[in-house]
C-alpha cells in the first residue's frame, strides 16, 4: 500500500517522524507531500523542508518526499496513493481532520483517509510551538530531528544553541 502524508512540515517535528516511521511499517510506502501554500509565510522554503525530511528519513526505505500545491486528493491520485494519512495529537484535531476527510472523500470516492494518533510523548508538539520555543532560545532537541534543530537555531540566531 502507498500512503500520502500531506502537510506543511514547517518544520518537521518528532511527532511527524513518529507517524512516518510507523506508517512505513504499516503501509510499506509513504509519500510525504510538502504543501506549497502561497498564502502562508513559512520559516523554511519548500526546498529546505524537502531536504530536512529527506535527511531525517534517510534511514527508512519506502519514503518519497515531494512538494505539491492545490488539492490533496489531486496529489494523491497523481502519486498513486491508496490512502491519505493524517495525524492526530489531541481530540481537538479530530473535528477539523474529519471535516477535511469528508471533503476529500466527496472529491475522490475511492480515496480513504486513515487517522493515526501520535505517541503520547509527542502529543504536545506542533510546528508553531517548536518555532516559538526556538525563537526564544529554548531547547528543541527533544522536539525535532537534529538537522532541523540546527536549521532552526541558525534561522533564529539563537543565543542558546542546541546541544
Residue with cell 532560545: 137
In a domain, 67, yes or no: yes
List 54, 79, 89, 105, catalytic entry: 89
142 in active site: no
Give 65: exposed, middle or buried? Use CB within 10 Å, 0-12, 13-18, 19+. buried
C-alpha Rg value of the chain to the nearest Å: 16
In 10 A of CB 96, how many CB atoms? Answer: 11
For residue 135, tell me if it sits in a domain: no
The answer to whether 89 is a known catalytic residue is yes
132 within some domain? no
Render pLDDT for 93-121 as a digit per residue (tens, 0 to 9): 899 999 999 999 999 999 999 999 999 99
Query: How many domains, in total, are found in the chain?
Result: 1
Q: Which structural domain, as residue segments, surrounds residue 44?
A: 2-120
Residue 105 catalytic?
no
Q: What is the pLDDT of residue 63?
A: 98
pLDDT in tens, 133-160: 999 999 999 999 999 999 999 999 744 4
Higher pLDDT, 90 or 122: 122
Give catalytic status of residue 150 as yes or no.
no
Whether 82 maps to a domain, the answer reads: yes
Query: How high is the pLDDT of residue 66?
Result: 98
Residue 107 in any domain: the answer is yes
Q: Is residue 162 part of a domain?
A: no
Nearest partner of 69 among 38, 100, 113, 40, judged by Cα: 38
pLDDT tens sequence across 5-61: 999 999 999 999 999 999 999 999 999 999 998 778 899 999 999 999 999 999 999
What pLDDT was estimated at residue 40?
80
Find the catalytic residue in 49, 127, 131, 158. 127
- The CATH number of whichever domain residue 15 belongs to comes to 3.40.50.620
Amino acid at each position: 500500500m502507498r500512503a500520502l502524508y500531506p502537510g506543511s512540515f514547517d518544520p518537521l517535528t518528532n511527532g511527524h517522524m513518529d507517524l512516518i516511521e510507523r506508517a512505513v511499517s504499516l503501509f510499506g510506502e509513504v509519500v510525504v507531500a510538502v504543501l506549497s501554500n502561497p498564502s502562508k509565510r513559512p520559516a523554511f522554503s519548500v526546498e529546505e523542508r524537502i531536504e530536512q525530511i529527506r535527511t531525517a528519513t534517510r534511514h527508512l526505505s519506502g519514503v518519497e518526499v515531494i512538494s505539491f500545491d492545490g488539492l490533496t486528493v489531486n496529489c494523491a491520485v497523481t502519486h498513486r496513493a491508496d490512502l491519505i494519512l493524517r495525524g492526530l495529537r489531541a481530540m481537538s484535531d479530530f473535528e477539523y481532520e474529519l471535516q477535511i476527510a469528508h471533503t476529500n472523500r466527496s472529491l475522490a470516492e475511492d480515496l480513504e483517509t486513515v487517522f493515526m494518533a501520535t505517541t503520547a510523548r509527542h502529543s504536545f508538539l506542533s510546528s508553531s510551538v517548536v518555532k516559538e520555543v526556538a525563537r526564544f532560545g529554548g531547547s528543541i532537541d527533544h522536539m525535532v530531528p537534529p538537522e532541523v534543530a540546527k536549521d532552526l537555531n541558525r534561522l533564529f540566531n539563537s543565543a542558546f544553541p542546541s546541544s
